[in-house]
């Protein structure tokens, strides 16, 4: 799947091949993550992006956009991350991790 790049420090939710994915732009670098907090099964799409982290809008759990690892005490379960390749002004998403 190819997508246009998105503005800095914002995210765009998509459904692709049955997966809920969130495409994030953190300071100009694009990431693709599971659009679901592992703490309380809530969407991450309205979460703030700071540095290489996104905060869950429900309880503030932070997840590393590169690894999916959580920061804090509310959960130890990481979220999925997906391969995302930048090609000019397009992003190519690959769910085969």
Q: Which of 24, 25, 28 is nearest to 79 (CA)?
A: 24
Q: Which of 49, 55, 48, 51 is nearest to 79 (CA)?
A: 55
| pLDDT tens, residue by residue, 22-50 | 999 999 999 999 999 999 889 999 999 99
Longest Cα–Cα distance of the chain, Å, equals 39
Q: Tell the residue number behind the tokens 């495409």, with chain if given.
A: 23
- Domains of the chain: total: 1
pLDDT for 90 equals: 85
Q: Which of 60, 64, 69 is nearest to 31 (CA)?
A: 64
pLDDT for 1 equals: 57
Structural domain including 27 reads 2-94
- What CATH number does the domain containing 48 carry? 2.102.10.10
- In the predicted structure, residue 2 carries a pLDDT above the cut 70: no
Q: Which of 2-11, 31-40, 70-79 has the lowest mean pLDDT?
A: 2-11
Whether residue 85 contacts residue 5, with contact meaning beta carbons closer than 8 Å, is answered with: no
Mean pLDDT of the chain: 92
State pTM to two decimals: 0.92
């Amino acid at each position: 799947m190819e997508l246009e790049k998105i503005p800095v420090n914002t995210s765009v939710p998509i459904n692709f091949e049955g997966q809920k994915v969130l495409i994030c732009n953190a300071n100009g670098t694009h990431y693709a993550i599971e659009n679901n907090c592992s703490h309380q099964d809530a969407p991450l799409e309205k979460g703030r992006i700071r540095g290489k982290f996104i905060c869950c809008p429900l309880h503030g759990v932070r997840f590393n956009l590169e690894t999916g690892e959580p920061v804090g005490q509310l959960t130890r379960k990481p979220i999925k991350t997906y391969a995302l390749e930048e090609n000019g002004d397009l992003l190519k998403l690959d769910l085969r991790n």
